[in-house]
Amino acid sequence: MTVVETPPVEARRDKAQYGVCGFLAVVGGLVIVDALRIQHIANSNDPIGPKPVPIVLGVLLLVIAVVYGVDVARGGSGEAESGEDVDPTSAVDWKTVLLLIAAFVVNLVLIEPAGWVISGAVLFWGSAYALGSRHHLRNLLIAVALSLATFYLFAIGLGVNLPAGVLQGIL
């Protein structure tokens, strides 16, 4: 009896991944070009100015694009996600999606006249409601705490003033 060996089947390469590599390279190049157009503004608190961070990020994007391209060329491919319990055949829960969109739109409309603290609280509370939480009072307290915390973290920590709206002078 003669055994016939069949050649190993070569794994099919996913050439679409080269598109991802190209996209990363283009974004990295655009970030670098845009960063080079930033005027050098230095002061005693920041002697190097705002240029280096986006340049470093652009270079890192280019490096990732090249490393990923080499990996794809060598036949590397990502593994299928197995850690989540997701049924890809299940229908989209449009009610949840529409409620989340509504929460973001209400935030967008309220942020200038009402201020971040109020619009952020509505956003956080609305998102919790849309995602199924029915502890309304607890969610409201957490939403107000989160919006106040982010308001002060942006103002004090980053020096970015979010709109105070009707609470101007109180906050």
Task: State whether 163 and 129 are in the same domain.
Answer: yes
Question: Residue 162: inside a domain, yes or no?
Answer: yes
Question: Residue 133: inside a domain, yes or no?
Answer: yes
Q: What is the pLDDT of residue 9?
A: 47
For the chain, the average pLDDT equals: 87
Question: Residue 36: inside a domain, yes or no?
Answer: yes
Residue of 55 and 157 predicted with greater confidence: 55
Question: Residue 4: inside a domain, yes or no?
Answer: no
Question: Residue 8: inside a domain, yes or no?
Answer: no
Per the structure, the count of domains in the chain is: 2
Task: State whether 100 and 64 are in the same domain.
Answer: no
Q: What is the pLDDT of residue 2?
A: 62
Question: Residue 80: inside a domain, yes or no?
Answer: no
State the alpha helices, DSSP H only, in the chain.
Answer: 16-36, 52-73, 94-114, 116-130, 136-152
Question: Residue 3: inside a domain, yes or no?
Answer: no
C-alpha span between 168 and 161 (Å, rounded):
11
115: containing domain:
94-167
Task: State whether 98 and 161 are in the same domain.
Answer: yes
